[in-house]
Structure 1
Amino acid sequence: MSAAISVVPAVGLLDTPRHIVLSGFAPGEHVSLTARSRQADGSAWRSVNTYVADARGAIDLDRQAPVSGSYAGVDGQGPIWSQAWLPQPGEDSLAVPAPEGLAGAITVVLQAQGEHGARATANLVQRHAAEGVVRTPLSQDGLVGALFTPATPGPHPAIVFLNGSGGGVNEARAALFASHGYAALALGYFGAPGLPDHLSGIPLEYFERALAWLRATVRPAWDFVAVSGISRGGELSLLLGSEYPQAVSAVVAYVPSSVVHGVLNAGKPEEGRFATAWTRGGDAVAHVWEGNAAQDWSAIDSLPEPRRQAQAFVDAQRDVAAVARARIPVERIAGPVLLLSAGDDGYWPSSRYAEDVARTLTRAQHPHAVTHLDYPEAGHALQAPGVPTTRIAKPHPVSGIVLTGGGTPLANHRANQASWAGVLDFLKDAVAARARQAA
């Protein structure tokens, strides 16, 4: 019997767990399994793990832990999430296909090598878009993004997804939402062609137009339009829900803030970190750093890279008046709210921020569901599952400062799995509640 690698399913959505079995090796043989991929930005990744074949010469990754390698313990998805970024990939990654487009499929090439010479190869394909999902580019009325609609007949509930302070357009996340039945708009607001280069003075009216465009275009089921974002996008999601309550049916805020911030690391270099990020009606939206007597970045700025900057945000919370001025009035939100936070967040204290939001909504007797999912050991980079989680520190896309997001690869992987399941459950319940209201 020749060596083989079985992957079930071999082709599936990014968030679909894979069952990987190696077979055809000698009983007790040490077998090395290498996983290689290229992610959407073209970067190369690799994991290497060694296992011991059982009495049948097989290795079932759902049942067996590696004896050495890039992860420990029994985890069938270990070779995927434990891939490490290769800053100088070398020739061994050149044969790995690169995804086509921001929402293109990612191919993970698996290679097994036994100590006695047996070899096997298989491909594992991770799709962001299910068969039949349609991508429609958006570039009108100053709006920039891409709309992904499901293959099934509409109307569908809708969702807008917003990136954080790195800017750009998160087509991959929108495609995945569309694969689960949502008309999903990946909306850019800076850092993409046709948009400003920096998070400086972005008018909230831009998002109001986008929400109106989405409604007019897809005519969502039960007029349901959720807004979701990560980090600064999470802050923005809560802000939009409070500023435009009739236009936002639900909010899903990943590692958000409870207060408005200035441009921080994403503004124009000449502005400094305390310039205005958001405007409304041409006026600046007050942020927590304005006249903040407790702010002190000197300790953070003197740290060697990678820097953990969360303490500066904790310190700023001591200025009660500044916090009150910048507080997002979340009690105005007219729908369910989901908060996802990370207890070891190195960027800012998302757990504390999320607790503040949940507490405010509870005190205001918010008439809709409020859910707070906190992951105490995870860091800032909450994502969909199925992605490598080993790169904890990296340069900020705008400032270039190397920051650490916190968490560990395993904790971040587990948080990705749990949070994504929580998001899908929350949206399902929110849509059902909206449908009952409309009945």
Structure 2
Amino acid sequence: MFVIGDGPTGVLVLSGSSGRVEEDRCRVLAAAAGATAASYAWFGERLDRVPLESFDDALSLLHGRCDRLVVLGTSRGAEAALLLGALHPEVDAVVAISPSDVVWAALSTERPQRSSWTRGGEPLPFVPYDDSWAPVGDPPEYVGLYEHCLEAYADRVPAARIPVERIGGSVVLAAGGDDRLWPSLDFAEEIVRRRTHAGLETTVVSHLEAGHRVVLPGETPPAPSHLAHGGTPAADAELGRRLWPEVLRVLMA
């Protein structure tokens, strides 16, 4: 596990499906926000049936060292962050960048499809992928796949929804309107709708021209990808600048 800083707020930083250790983001959070930031490779070869209990050691380490506890995740890591916020009352805030409001199938070619997550050894309900769907573009866009699957498997959606109403701490969402990987802004709006119905406040930061990969101030822009993420470098960085005051707020509360 990569850990940096010795501030009063501990933040667990979770990457998306790249699986990388977010050292650059941790350094930025430690230097600019005075946080104790930690990151690690939270799944193995595939994002497939990851036990939610597998995050317990990292959360316990930060909780034992710090006065406050925050989970910051991107994409599939945001999926994890929201689930952890719902399960762990000691989490004071969740920052979900390019989030989903539902649990998705594992990122695996094995069939039948399985959940990305388990709890107590049991798989969480999930929305599956339609194997007949083909991506478009070069690099390929997958936003249409997620939109299609929400409609095609509408009967699976209610059970697969992440219980964001159970997150007692602060929730900050960031989403780009030009996300070409999945419809993160739609997902963020659904999270807000359900939390508002439960009487809970949620902060949403967005930029209509930004894509899936948000760049915080001080971070190194990501390398080109074999997948379409949408946005532009300028818009992705602008969304990061808009998000930054909210990140500081939850880290320095």
The aligned residue for residue 326 of structure 1 is: 160
Query: Is 1:225 aligned with 2:57?
Result: no
The aligned residue for residue 375 of structure 1 is: 207
Query: Is 1:279 aligned with 2:118?
Result: yes
The aligned residue for residue 262 of structure 1 is: 105
Q: 1:177 aligns with which of 22, 25, 29?
A: 29
Shift of 1:371: 0.3
In the alignment, the residues of structure 1 paired with residue 242 and residue 113 of structure 2 have an alpha-carbon distance, to the nearest angstrom, of: 35
Deviation >4 Å, runs of 4+? 386-391
CA contact (8 A) 2:75 2:100 kept: yes
Q: 1:186-201 residue pairs with structure 2 within 5 A?
A: 186-190=39-43, 196-201=44-49
- Give the letter for the 2:72 counterpart: S
Q: 1:21-60 residue pairs with structure 2 within 5 A?
A: none
The C-alpha deviation readout for 1:98-131, integer Å capped at 9, x for no partner, is xxxxxxxxxxxxxxxxxxxxxxxxxxxxxxxxxx
Specify which structure has the higher proportion of helix: 2
Q: 1:212-251 residue pairs with structure 2 within 5 A?
A: 212-216=60-64, 218=65, 220-221=66-67, 224-244=68-88, 246-251=89-94
Shift of 1:209: 2.5
Q: 1:348-367 residue pairs with structure 2 within 5 A?
A: 348-366=182-200
SS in 2 for 1:404: coil
* Cα gap change, 1:165 to 1:390, in 2 (>3 Å): closer
Q: 2:16 aligns with which of 164, 182, 193?
A: 164
Q: How many residues align?
A: 251
Specify which structure has the higher proportion of strand: 1
TM-score relative to the length of structure 1: 0.54
Query: Is 1:209 aligned with 2:62?
Result: no
In the alignment, the residues of structure 2 paired with residue 185 and residue 315 of structure 1 have an alpha-carbon distance, to the nearest angstrom, of: 36
- Give the letter for the 1:171 counterpart: E
Shift of 1:275: 2.7
The aligned residue for residue 14 of structure 1 is: none
CA contact (8 A) 1:168 1:188 kept: yes
The C-alpha deviation readout for 1:375-428, integer Å capped at 9, x for no partner, is 11100011223456586x512xxxxxxx10001222122222222233223433
- Give the letter for the 2:120 counterpart: G
Larger CA deviation: 280-289 vs 407-416: 407-416
In the alignment, the residues of structure 2 paired with residue 213 and residue 362 of structure 1 have an alpha-carbon distance, to the nearest angstrom, of: 32
* Cα gap change, 1:409 to 1:177, in 2 (>3 Å): closer
Shift of 1:176: 1.5
In the alignment, the residues of structure 1 paired with residue 12 and residue 60 of structure 2 have an alpha-carbon distance, to the nearest angstrom, of: 11
In the alignment, the residues of structure 2 paired with residue 250 and residue 388 of structure 1 have an alpha-carbon distance, to the nearest angstrom, of: 25
* Cα gap change, 1:404 to 1:424, in 2 (>3 Å): same
Shift of 1:372: 0.7
In the alignment, the residues of structure 2 paired with residue 297 and residue 197 of structure 1 have an alpha-carbon distance, to the nearest angstrom, of: 21
The aligned residue for residue 231 of structure 2 is: 407
Query: What percentage of aligned pairs have identical amino acids?
Result: 36
The C-alpha deviation readout for 1:321-343, integer Å capped at 9, x for no partner, is 21101000111111110011111
CA contact (8 A) 1:211 1:247 kept: no
The aligned residue for residue 142 of structure 2 is: 309
Q: 1:329-340 residue pairs with structure 2 within 5 A?
A: 329-340=163-174
The aligned residue for residue 90 of structure 1 is: none
In the alignment, the residues of structure 2 paired with residue 198 and residue 296 of structure 1 have an alpha-carbon distance, to the nearest angstrom, of: 19
Which runs of no fewer than 5 residues in structure 1 stay unpaired? 1-144, 191-195, 290-294, 396-402, 432-439
Q: 1:416 aligns with which of 230, 237, 240?
A: 240
SS in 1 for 2:105: coil
In the alignment, the residues of structure 1 paired with residue 63 and residue 249 of structure 2 have an alpha-carbon distance, to the nearest angstrom, of: 23
Between structure 1 and structure 2, the one with the greater Rg is: 1
* Cα gap change, 1:376 to 1:417, in 2 (>3 Å): same
TM-score relative to the length of structure 2: 0.91
